């Protein structure tokens, strides 16, 4: 099911996809948790299967400009044509894209706000597969954070990443704040009461466009966040 931002049904089965922003060169959708952006190696449904419906009268299928992990819900930017894709890619390179994420941590950080600067590198093993780790010679990664609320033994954190490294917020939560994301199977303990996935939500997305109105989108809180006591602002 595809829905426009006002809740109007557009078309299509299988996934509840809400359109948060739309113009002639861009779409921002609220990607559901559990949906991969790219086709998984093992096969299965992914966002690609919904691109024809997301054309919405345009000739070309839209293309995802960036990626969200399969578990992560929230704002995902799609480009409607190759020129727009090139401009948006440059916007990411020039750091003209602002993003915030809400994360539920399995624990509480020390302090109420700060900045995590931990470079990241990829490692892999036959037993555990691949993962990202802090490494002095890794790629620079910077995340700003603030404590939003305490949820019993857990905490709600708003992250504002400056960089977009793979698994950046998941590693920064564990290594920088001392607590993994609730439900994280790689950097935490996996499934927890009320958390059947890694509890990370792409809350807002802003893209500055010279000479044009900026793209601004906000994804509403998913039901599993609300069930864990997160308050909808």
Using CA atoms, how far apart are residues 217 and 198, in angstroms rounded to an integer? 22
Using CA atoms, how far apart are residues 74 and 148, in angstroms rounded to an integer? 18
- Residues 89-99 as b or e (16 or more Cβ within 10 Å = b): eebeeeebbeb
Using CA atoms, how far apart are residues 223 and 210, in angstroms rounded to an integer? 36
Do 116 and 140 contact (CB within 8 A), yes or no? no
Residue 69 is a catalytic residue:
yes
Which position among 16, 23, 52, 69 bears the catalytic label?
69
For 42, list phi and psi in degrees, rounded to 5. -80, 0
Quick one: how far is CA 59 from the chain centroid? 27
| Helix ranges (DSSP H) in the chain | 51-54, 82-93, 168-177, 223-227
Using CA atoms, how far apart are residues 42 and 90, in angstroms rounded to an integer? 32
* 16: nearest Cα among 50, 61, 55: 50
* 11: nearest Cα among 22, 19, 3: 3
Coil vs helix vs strand at 92? helix
Would you name the residues annotated as active-site residues?
69
């Amino acid at each position: 099911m595809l829905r426009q931002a006002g809740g109007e049904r557009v078309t299509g089965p299988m996934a509840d996809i809400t359109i948060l922003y739309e113009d002639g060169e861009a779409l921002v959708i609220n990607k559901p948790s559990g949906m991969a952006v790219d086709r998984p190696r093992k096969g299965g449904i992914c966002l690609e299967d919904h691109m024809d419906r997301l054309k919405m009268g345009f000739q070309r299928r839209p293309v995802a400009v960036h990626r969200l992990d399969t578990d992560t819900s929230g704002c995902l930017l799609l480009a409607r044509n190759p020129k727009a894709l090139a401009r948006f890619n440059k916007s990411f390179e020039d750091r003209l894209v602002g993003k915030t994420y809400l994360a539920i941590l399995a624990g509480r950080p020390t302090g109420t706000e700060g900045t995590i600067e931990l470079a990241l590198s990829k490692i892999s093993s036959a037993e555990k597969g691949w993962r990202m780790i802090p490494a002095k010679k890794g790629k620079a990664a910077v995340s700003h954070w603030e404590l939003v609320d305490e949820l019993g033994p857990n905490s709600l954190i708003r992250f504002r990443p400056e960089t977009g490294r793979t698994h950046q917020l998941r590693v920064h939560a564990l290594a920088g704040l001392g607590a993994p994301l609730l439900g994280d199977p790689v950097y935490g303990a996996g499934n927890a009461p009320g958390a059947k996935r890694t509890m990370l939500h792409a809350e807002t997305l802003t893209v500055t466009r010279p000479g044009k109105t900026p793209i601004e989108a906000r994804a509403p809180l998913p039901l599993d966040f609300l069930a864990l006591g997160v308050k909808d602002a």
